[in-house]
Structure 1
Amino acid sequence: MLVIVGRIGRAHGIKGDIGMIVRTDDPDLRFADGAKLVTTTNPPRTLTVESSRWHSGRLLVKFVESPDRTAAESLRNLEVQAEIGEDERPEDPEEYYDRELIGLKVRTTTGDEAGEVIDVIHLPSQDLLEIRRPAGNAVLVPLVEELVPEIDLDAKYVTVADRPGLLDPEGAEVVPSEPGDAAR
Protein backbone atom coordinates (compact mmCIF):
# COMPACT_ATOMS: atom_id res chain seq x y z
CA MET A 1 0.00 0.00 0.00
CA LEU A 2 1.34 3.45 -0.91
CA VAL A 3 1.25 6.12 1.81
CA ILE A 4 2.23 9.79 1.37
CA VAL A 5 5.41 10.47 3.34
CA GLY A 6 6.37 13.94 2.13
CA ARG A 7 6.18 16.80 -0.32
CA ILE A 8 9.21 18.01 -2.20
CA GLY A 9 10.19 21.57 -1.35
CA ARG A 10 12.72 23.90 -2.90
CA ALA A 11 16.20 22.98 -4.07
CA HIS A 12 19.08 23.46 -1.64
CA GLY A 13 22.41 24.35 -3.24
CA ILE A 14 23.56 23.36 -6.72
CA LYS A 15 24.10 19.61 -6.33
CA GLY A 16 20.46 18.50 -6.43
CA ASP A 17 19.63 18.43 -2.72
CA ILE A 18 15.96 19.08 -1.97
CA GLY A 19 14.23 20.27 1.20
CA MET A 20 11.45 17.83 2.14
CA ILE A 21 8.20 18.74 3.83
CA VAL A 22 7.94 15.60 5.95
CA ARG A 23 4.56 13.87 6.33
CA THR A 24 5.72 10.81 8.26
CA ASP A 25 6.62 10.10 11.86
CA ASP A 26 9.56 7.99 10.73
CA PRO A 27 11.52 10.10 8.20
CA ASP A 28 14.85 8.38 8.90
CA LEU A 29 13.33 5.08 7.73
CA ARG A 30 11.23 6.42 4.83
CA PHE A 31 14.06 8.58 3.40
CA ALA A 32 16.91 6.12 4.08
CA ASP A 33 19.63 5.70 1.45
CA GLY A 34 18.32 3.49 -1.35
CA ALA A 35 14.64 3.94 -0.47
CA LYS A 36 12.29 3.97 -3.45
CA LEU A 37 9.54 6.59 -3.38
CA VAL A 38 6.70 7.04 -5.87
CA THR A 39 5.27 10.42 -6.91
CA THR A 40 1.52 11.01 -6.95
CA THR A 41 1.75 12.32 -10.52
CA ASN A 42 0.05 10.68 -13.49
CA PRO A 43 1.95 8.71 -14.59
CA PRO A 44 3.78 8.12 -11.30
CA ARG A 45 7.57 8.43 -11.21
CA THR A 46 9.87 6.41 -9.00
CA LEU A 47 12.56 8.35 -7.16
CA THR A 48 15.49 6.68 -5.41
CA VAL A 49 16.99 8.31 -2.32
CA GLU A 50 20.72 8.69 -2.86
CA SER A 51 21.27 10.33 0.52
CA SER A 52 19.45 12.29 3.19
CA ARG A 53 20.54 14.46 6.10
CA TRP A 54 19.15 16.90 8.60
CA HIS A 55 20.26 20.52 8.19
CA SER A 56 19.01 23.33 10.45
CA GLY A 57 15.95 21.29 11.45
CA ARG A 58 15.02 20.49 7.85
CA LEU A 59 15.39 17.18 6.02
CA LEU A 60 17.47 17.46 2.86
CA VAL A 61 17.15 14.63 0.37
CA LYS A 62 19.23 13.90 -2.71
CA PHE A 63 17.52 11.71 -5.30
CA VAL A 64 19.48 9.75 -7.91
CA GLU A 65 17.12 11.34 -10.47
CA SER A 66 18.05 14.92 -9.47
CA PRO A 67 21.78 15.34 -10.17
CA ASP A 68 21.66 19.16 -10.15
CA ARG A 69 19.63 22.16 -9.03
CA THR A 70 17.62 22.34 -12.27
CA ALA A 71 16.50 18.71 -11.96
CA ALA A 72 15.73 19.23 -8.27
CA GLU A 73 13.58 22.30 -8.99
CA SER A 74 11.58 20.31 -11.58
CA LEU A 75 10.41 18.03 -8.73
CA ARG A 76 9.21 20.87 -6.50
CA ASN A 77 5.75 20.44 -4.89
CA LEU A 78 5.41 16.77 -5.87
CA GLU A 79 4.09 14.49 -3.15
CA VAL A 80 6.02 11.27 -2.61
CA GLN A 81 4.72 7.96 -1.30
CA ALA A 82 6.38 4.94 0.26
CA GLU A 83 5.27 1.33 0.04
CA ILE A 84 4.07 0.22 3.47
CA GLY A 85 2.92 -3.31 4.28
CA GLU A 86 -0.79 -3.83 4.94
CA ASP A 87 -0.06 -5.20 8.41
CA GLU A 88 2.67 -2.69 9.30
CA ARG A 89 1.94 -0.59 12.40
CA PRO A 90 3.74 2.38 13.93
CA GLU A 91 5.96 1.45 16.89
CA ASP A 92 4.07 3.72 19.30
CA PRO A 93 0.69 2.13 20.20
CA GLU A 94 -0.84 5.64 20.40
CA GLU A 95 -0.04 6.35 16.71
CA TYR A 96 -2.11 5.29 13.71
CA TYR A 97 -1.88 5.41 9.96
CA ASP A 98 -4.66 7.42 8.32
CA ARG A 99 -5.75 4.31 6.41
CA GLU A 100 -6.41 2.53 9.71
CA LEU A 101 -8.80 5.23 10.92
CA ILE A 102 -10.70 5.98 7.72
CA GLY A 103 -13.86 3.87 7.61
CA LEU A 104 -14.08 3.24 11.36
CA LYS A 105 -17.51 3.61 12.93
CA VAL A 106 -17.90 6.41 15.47
CA ARG A 107 -19.67 5.97 18.80
CA THR A 108 -20.25 8.41 21.61
CA THR A 109 -19.10 7.62 25.14
CA THR A 110 -22.73 6.67 25.87
CA GLY A 111 -22.66 4.07 23.08
CA ASP A 112 -24.79 5.91 20.50
CA GLU A 113 -23.84 5.54 16.83
CA ALA A 114 -22.42 8.87 15.67
CA GLY A 115 -21.19 8.27 12.11
CA GLU A 116 -18.04 7.19 10.30
CA VAL A 117 -14.49 8.56 9.96
CA ILE A 118 -14.08 9.72 6.35
CA ASP A 119 -10.73 11.54 6.54
CA VAL A 120 -7.83 12.54 8.78
CA ILE A 121 -6.70 16.14 8.38
CA HIS A 122 -3.19 17.06 9.46
CA LEU A 123 -2.72 20.61 10.72
CA PRO A 124 0.41 22.07 12.32
CA SER A 125 -1.20 22.24 15.75
CA GLN A 126 -3.09 18.91 15.78
CA ASP A 127 -4.79 16.27 13.66
CA LEU A 128 -8.54 16.26 13.06
CA LEU A 129 -10.94 13.42 12.33
CA GLU A 130 -13.52 14.25 9.69
CA ILE A 131 -16.67 12.39 10.64
CA ARG A 132 -19.70 11.90 8.41
CA ARG A 133 -22.74 12.08 10.65
CA PRO A 134 -25.81 9.86 10.10
CA ALA A 135 -27.70 12.91 8.75
CA GLY A 136 -25.07 13.25 5.99
CA ASN A 137 -23.28 16.34 7.25
CA ALA A 138 -19.62 16.20 8.31
CA VAL A 139 -17.93 17.53 11.45
CA LEU A 140 -14.29 17.87 12.47
CA VAL A 141 -13.13 16.49 15.81
CA PRO A 142 -9.63 17.15 17.20
CA LEU A 143 -7.75 13.87 17.56
CA VAL A 144 -6.84 14.34 21.22
CA GLU A 145 -7.41 11.90 24.07
CA GLU A 146 -9.93 14.15 25.87
CA LEU A 147 -12.23 14.11 22.82
CA VAL A 148 -11.30 10.73 21.32
CA PRO A 149 -10.68 8.55 24.38
CA GLU A 150 -10.70 5.18 22.58
CA ILE A 151 -9.68 3.79 19.20
CA ASP A 152 -10.29 0.07 18.77
CA LEU A 153 -8.91 -1.12 15.43
CA ASP A 154 -9.93 -4.73 16.05
CA ALA A 155 -13.57 -3.83 16.75
CA LYS A 156 -13.41 -1.10 14.03
CA TYR A 157 -14.72 1.85 16.02
CA VAL A 158 -13.68 5.17 17.53
CA THR A 159 -15.23 6.59 20.68
CA VAL A 160 -15.85 10.34 20.70
CA ALA A 161 -16.71 12.35 23.82
CA ASP A 162 -20.28 13.55 24.03
CA ARG A 163 -19.64 17.29 24.40
CA PRO A 164 -22.16 20.01 23.48
CA GLY A 165 -21.53 21.18 19.92
CA LEU A 166 -18.79 18.66 19.13
CA LEU A 167 -20.79 16.29 16.95
CA ASP A 168 -23.75 18.64 16.50
CA PRO A 169 -22.65 22.24 15.85
CA GLU A 170 -26.30 23.33 16.10
CA GLY A 171 -26.31 22.11 19.71
CA ALA A 172 -23.33 24.18 20.79
CA GLU A 173 -23.62 26.12 24.00
CA VAL A 174 -23.77 29.89 23.62
CA VAL A 175 -21.22 31.52 25.89
CA PRO A 176 -21.63 35.18 26.84
CA SER A 177 -18.89 37.36 25.32
CA GLU A 178 -18.56 39.59 28.41
CA PRO A 179 -19.32 39.05 32.07
CA GLY A 180 -22.94 39.88 32.72
CA ASP A 181 -24.05 39.40 29.09
CA ALA A 182 -26.89 36.95 28.68
CA ALA A 183 -26.76 34.21 26.05
CA ARG A 184 -29.10 35.04 23.19
Structure 2
Amino acid sequence: MLVIVGRIGRAHGLKGEVGVEVRTDEPDRRFADGAKLVTTTKPPRTLTIASSRWHSGRLLVKFEESPDRTAAELLRNLELQAEIGEDERPEDPEEYYDRELVGLSVRTTDGAEAGEVVDVIHLPSQDLLEIRRPAGNAVLVPLVEELVPEINLDGKYVLVADRPGLLDPEGAEVVPTEPAEGDGSR
Protein backbone atom coordinates (compact mmCIF):
# COMPACT_ATOMS: atom_id res chain seq x y z
CA MET A 1 0.00 0.00 0.00
CA LEU A 2 1.27 3.48 -0.87
CA VAL A 3 1.11 6.36 1.64
CA ILE A 4 2.11 9.97 1.11
CA VAL A 5 5.33 10.84 2.94
CA GLY A 6 6.21 14.24 1.48
CA ARG A 7 5.86 16.91 -1.15
CA ILE A 8 8.78 18.27 -3.16
CA GLY A 9 9.45 21.98 -2.79
CA ARG A 10 11.88 24.26 -4.56
CA ALA A 11 15.32 23.33 -5.82
CA HIS A 12 18.28 23.98 -3.51
CA GLY A 13 21.66 24.79 -5.02
CA LEU A 14 22.99 23.67 -8.39
CA LYS A 15 23.51 19.94 -7.83
CA GLY A 16 19.88 18.76 -7.98
CA GLU A 17 18.84 18.86 -4.34
CA VAL A 18 15.24 19.77 -3.46
CA GLY A 19 13.54 20.78 -0.25
CA VAL A 20 10.87 18.34 0.90
CA GLU A 21 7.80 19.15 2.97
CA VAL A 22 7.80 16.08 5.22
CA ARG A 23 4.47 14.34 5.83
CA THR A 24 5.70 11.40 7.85
CA ASP A 25 6.76 10.96 11.45
CA GLU A 26 9.59 8.71 10.24
CA PRO A 27 11.56 10.91 7.81
CA ASP A 28 14.93 9.26 8.51
CA ARG A 29 13.40 5.91 7.57
CA ARG A 30 11.37 7.03 4.54
CA PHE A 31 14.08 9.29 3.06
CA ALA A 32 17.06 6.99 3.68
CA ASP A 33 19.72 6.63 1.00
CA GLY A 34 18.58 4.12 -1.63
CA ALA A 35 14.88 4.32 -0.70
CA LYS A 36 12.49 4.36 -3.63
CA LEU A 37 9.50 6.69 -3.59
CA VAL A 38 6.64 6.88 -6.06
CA THR A 39 5.05 10.11 -7.29
CA THR A 40 1.27 10.59 -7.38
CA THR A 41 1.45 11.64 -11.05
CA LYS A 42 -0.24 9.79 -13.88
CA PRO A 43 1.63 7.67 -14.79
CA PRO A 44 3.49 7.32 -11.48
CA ARG A 45 7.21 7.89 -11.49
CA THR A 46 9.73 6.15 -9.22
CA LEU A 47 12.46 8.32 -7.65
CA THR A 48 15.48 6.86 -5.84
CA ILE A 49 17.05 8.79 -2.99
CA ALA A 50 20.76 9.37 -3.56
CA SER A 51 21.17 11.32 -0.30
CA SER A 52 19.22 13.35 2.24
CA ARG A 53 20.21 15.78 4.94
CA TRP A 54 18.71 18.33 7.30
CA HIS A 55 19.60 21.97 6.67
CA SER A 56 18.18 24.84 8.74
CA GLY A 57 15.24 22.69 9.85
CA ARG A 58 14.37 21.60 6.31
CA LEU A 59 14.91 18.22 4.69
CA LEU A 60 17.00 18.40 1.52
CA VAL A 61 16.90 15.40 -0.78
CA LYS A 62 18.98 14.50 -3.83
CA PHE A 63 17.33 12.02 -6.20
CA GLU A 64 19.39 9.89 -8.58
CA GLU A 65 17.01 11.03 -11.33
CA SER A 66 17.77 14.75 -10.85
CA PRO A 67 21.45 15.39 -11.63
CA ASP A 68 21.19 19.19 -11.65
CA ARG A 69 19.07 22.19 -10.69
CA THR A 70 17.12 22.16 -13.97
CA ALA A 71 16.00 18.55 -13.42
CA ALA A 72 15.25 19.29 -9.73
CA GLU A 73 13.01 22.23 -10.65
CA LEU A 74 10.86 19.88 -12.77
CA LEU A 75 10.07 17.85 -9.62
CA ARG A 76 8.55 20.79 -7.73
CA ASN A 77 5.14 20.17 -6.11
CA LEU A 78 5.16 16.41 -6.73
CA GLU A 79 3.78 14.36 -3.85
CA LEU A 80 5.90 11.39 -2.78
CA GLN A 81 4.59 8.02 -1.61
CA ALA A 82 6.31 5.12 0.12
CA GLU A 83 5.30 1.48 -0.04
CA ILE A 84 4.02 0.41 3.37
CA GLY A 85 3.07 -3.15 4.29
CA GLU A 86 -0.62 -3.73 5.10
CA ASP A 87 0.25 -4.84 8.65
CA GLU A 88 2.96 -2.24 9.23
CA ARG A 89 2.40 0.21 12.10
CA PRO A 90 4.26 3.38 13.11
CA GLU A 91 6.83 2.88 15.85
CA ASP A 92 5.02 5.26 18.27
CA PRO A 93 1.69 3.82 19.52
CA GLU A 94 0.18 7.34 19.49
CA GLU A 95 0.78 7.71 15.72
CA TYR A 96 -1.45 6.44 12.95
CA TYR A 97 -1.35 6.06 9.21
CA ASP A 98 -4.11 7.93 7.37
CA ARG A 99 -5.44 4.64 6.00
CA GLU A 100 -6.05 3.41 9.56
CA LEU A 101 -8.25 6.42 10.38
CA VAL A 102 -10.28 6.67 7.18
CA GLY A 103 -13.51 4.70 7.59
CA LEU A 104 -13.59 4.82 11.40
CA SER A 105 -16.94 5.79 12.91
CA VAL A 106 -17.02 8.99 14.93
CA ARG A 107 -18.74 9.30 18.30
CA THR A 108 -18.95 12.22 20.67
CA THR A 109 -17.66 11.79 24.20
CA ASP A 110 -21.29 11.66 25.38
CA GLY A 111 -21.94 8.63 23.11
CA ALA A 112 -23.80 10.19 20.17
CA GLU A 113 -23.02 8.93 16.65
CA ALA A 114 -21.35 11.80 14.79
CA GLY A 115 -20.36 10.38 11.40
CA GLU A 116 -17.37 8.77 9.70
CA VAL A 117 -13.77 9.81 9.02
CA VAL A 118 -13.44 10.23 5.23
CA ASP A 119 -10.00 11.87 4.99
CA VAL A 120 -7.01 13.17 6.93
CA ILE A 121 -5.81 16.58 5.78
CA HIS A 122 -2.24 17.58 6.54
CA LEU A 123 -1.55 21.28 7.03
CA PRO A 124 1.71 22.87 8.17
CA SER A 125 0.22 23.81 11.56
CA GLN A 126 -1.78 20.64 12.31
CA ASP A 127 -3.64 17.69 10.86
CA LEU A 128 -7.42 17.70 10.40
CA LEU A 129 -9.95 14.87 10.31
CA GLU A 130 -12.58 15.30 7.61
CA ILE A 131 -15.77 13.84 9.03
CA ARG A 132 -18.87 13.10 6.98
CA ARG A 133 -21.84 13.83 9.21
CA PRO A 134 -25.02 11.69 9.16
CA ALA A 135 -26.82 14.54 7.32
CA GLY A 136 -24.27 14.22 4.50
CA ASN A 137 -22.30 17.41 5.10
CA ALA A 138 -18.62 17.31 6.05
CA VAL A 139 -16.77 19.09 8.86
CA LEU A 140 -13.09 19.42 9.70
CA VAL A 141 -11.87 18.63 13.21
CA PRO A 142 -8.31 19.41 14.34
CA LEU A 143 -6.53 16.18 15.25
CA VAL A 144 -5.44 17.31 18.70
CA GLU A 145 -5.92 15.45 21.98
CA GLU A 146 -8.26 18.09 23.42
CA LEU A 147 -10.76 17.51 20.58
CA VAL A 148 -9.94 13.89 19.70
CA PRO A 149 -9.19 12.26 23.06
CA GLU A 150 -9.39 8.67 21.85
CA ILE A 151 -8.69 6.69 18.69
CA ASN A 152 -9.64 3.04 19.05
CA LEU A 153 -8.51 0.99 16.04
CA ASP A 154 -9.75 -2.30 17.53
CA GLY A 155 -13.20 -0.81 18.20
CA LYS A 156 -13.09 1.04 14.86
CA TYR A 157 -14.07 4.43 16.26
CA VAL A 158 -12.81 7.90 17.09
CA LEU A 159 -14.09 9.93 20.04
CA VAL A 160 -14.59 13.66 19.49
CA ALA A 161 -15.11 16.13 22.32
CA ASP A 162 -17.83 18.21 20.69
CA ARG A 163 -17.75 21.98 21.14
CA PRO A 164 -20.30 24.54 19.91
CA GLY A 165 -19.84 24.85 16.15
CA LEU A 166 -17.34 21.98 15.84
CA LEU A 167 -19.54 19.19 14.49
CA ASP A 168 -22.53 21.43 13.77
CA PRO A 169 -21.37 24.71 12.22
CA GLU A 170 -24.96 26.01 12.42
CA GLY A 171 -24.73 25.64 16.21
CA ALA A 172 -21.72 27.94 16.53
CA GLU A 173 -21.96 30.63 19.16
CA VAL A 174 -22.28 34.06 17.64
CA VAL A 175 -20.88 36.90 19.69
CA PRO A 176 -22.47 40.24 18.81
CA THR A 177 -19.98 43.01 18.17
CA GLU A 178 -20.34 46.70 18.82
CA PRO A 179 -19.38 49.11 16.03
CA ALA A 180 -15.93 50.55 16.59
CA GLU A 181 -15.62 54.29 17.17
CA GLY A 182 -15.05 56.20 13.96
CA ASP A 183 -16.14 53.39 11.62
CA GLY A 184 -18.90 55.50 10.09
CA SER A 185 -21.77 53.76 11.92
CA ARG A 186 -24.42 55.89 13.63
Q: Same fold (TM over 0.5)?
A: yes
| Same amino acid, percent of matched pairs | 88
Query: For residue 65 of structure 2, what is the aligned residue in structure 1?
Result: 65
Counterpart residue type for residue 101 of structure 2: L
Query: Where do residues 102-121 of structure 1 align in structure 2 (5 Å cutoff)?
Result: 102-121=102-121
Query: For residue 53 of structure 1, what is the aligned residue in structure 2?
Result: 53
Structure 1 distance, partners of 2:60, 2:104, is 36
Deviation at 1:114, TM superposition (A): 0.8
Deviation at 1:124, TM superposition (A): 2.1
SS where residue 94 of structure 1 aligns?
A: coil
Query: Where do residues 26-41 of structure 1 align in structure 2 (5 Å cutoff)?
Result: 26-41=26-41
Query: For residue 181 of structure 1, what is the aligned residue in structure 2?
Result: none
Query: For residue 166 of structure 2, what is the aligned residue in structure 1?
Result: 166
Query: For residue 15 of structure 2, what is the aligned residue in structure 1?
Result: 15
Structure 2 distance, partners of 1:169, 1:149, is 21
Query: For residue 184 of structure 2, what is the aligned residue in structure 1?
Result: none
Q: Report the TM-score when normalising by structure 1.
A: 0.91
Give RMSD over aligned pairs: 1.3
Q: How many residues align?
A: 178
Structure 2 distance, partners of 1:77, 1:174, is 39
Counterpart residue type for residue 124 of structure 1: P
Query: For residue 5 of structure 1, what is the aligned residue in structure 2?
Result: 5
Q: Report the TM-score when normalising by structure 2.
A: 0.90
Counterpart residue type for residue 113 of structure 1: E
Deviation at 1:8, TM superposition (A): 1.3
SS where residue 166 of structure 1 aligns?
A: coil
Structure 1 distance, partners of 2:72, 2:163, is 48
Query: Where do residues 82-161 of structure 1 align in structure 2 (5 Å cutoff)?
Result: 82-161=82-161
Q: In structure 1, list runs of 5 or more residues that go unmatched.
A: 179-184
SS where residue 70 of structure 1 aligns?
A: helix
Q: 1:69 to 1:162 in 2, by over 3 A?
A: closer
Query: For residue 25 of structure 1, what is the aligned residue in structure 2?
Result: 25
